[in-house]
Each structure stands twice: as structure tokens, then as C-alpha cells.
Amino acid sequence: MNFNKTEIPDVIIIEPNVFKDDRGFFMESFRADLLAKHGINFQFVQDNHSGSKRNILRGLHYQIKHPQGKLVRVVAGEIFDVAVDLRKSSKTFGKWIAAILSAENKKMLWIPPGFAHGFYVLSDWAEVIYKATEYYAPEYDRSIIWNDPDIGIKWPIPEGSEPILSEKDKSGKRLKEAEVFD
């Protein structure tokens, strides 16, 4: 596996070694020892799997207590995956990073605790699987509005189009009003 730091050094793009032949491919999608060697030394306690149609935008989600680190990958389709730093003491507070994750490129994104996470579906259908370091705790679930101008995420939404949002995501707060981490 190759571990590539991003402009926000705690967020890492992981590229697995993929072995292809005429039968298909093989790859290791999780190796605790290699992750730990690169600073991702967490116990994962929950796996999540979502399926979404084109133009669905999910996020920006986080848990204010029991914050989740997430190891995100796509097993069908393609997404624009985003992490926003919500750690007030961080030099990159309020900054965002994005990566294209797809079943084809097999890249994974490590998003540590203290970040909001969201994604926009680029393909007709996408299935996202992610490992989480904490259990889902709905009472601590929070959402920041996807288009907060103070964050300024450049979502790849076609001109003249609006993303499809859940009611929860439509009512997300602006960063300046949101609960964040110290």
C-alpha cells in the first residue's frame, strides 16, 4: 500500500497494491499493521455500507462526542469524497480536502476523528464502504451545510444542477454556528 499525505497531513489517501491478471484482481483492502506504521493506529468497531444514485450529496457529517475516524472506499461507481477539519486548535481548521474514490482506482481515504465527512456521487450508482473507529451515536450526530461559503468546497456539481439532499443535510449548520472540536 502507498500512503500519500494530503494538504491536510492527517488526511491520507491510501493506494493499495492491486494484482491483476486474466481472472480479475486481488488486493488487500485492510492491513492493521501497515495502517499503524503510517500513524493510523485505531481500532475499527463498525463497518458501514451505503448505496446512492447520481447527484446525491451526503454530508457534511460528524459526531461531536465519540468522534469517528473513517477509512472510506468505493466498491461500485465513483464519488467526490470530502473531509473538513473541525479541530479548532489545528492549523488547518475549516480547511477541506477532497479525493476521487472509485471502484476502478481502488483508492481509500483516511479521515481521522475531528473531521466532518461528505461525498457527492459522480456515477449513475455508487456504493461506499467505510470502517469507523467509534460506534454511531445519533444523539451526537451533527451536520454542516454542504455549501457553507466560509468553507468553500468546490463540489463538481454540473452547472444548473442542484444536489439531492436528505432533510438532515438541508438543515446543516454553517461552520461559524456549529459545535466543533477543541
Residues 47-86 as b/e (b if ≥16 CB within 10 A, e otherwise) read eeeeebeebbbbbbbbbeeebbbbbbbbeebbbbbbbbbb
Catalytic residue (one of 62, 117, 120, 130) = 130
Cβ-proximal residues to 103 (8 Å cutoff; 6+ apart), any chain: 74, 75, 76, 77, 78, 127
130 catalytic residue (yes or no): yes
Catalytic residue (one of 61, 62, 117, 120) = 61
In the Cβ-directed half-sphere of 60, how many Cα atoms lie within 13 Å?
33
Q: Please state, in angstroms and rounded to a whole number, the distance separating the CA atoms of residues 96 and 82.
A: 7
Q: Please state, in angstroms and rounded to a whole number, the distance separating the CA atoms of residues 143 and 36.
A: 29
Q: Which three cell numbers stand for residue 136?
A: 454511531
- Tell me the catalytic residues: 61, 130
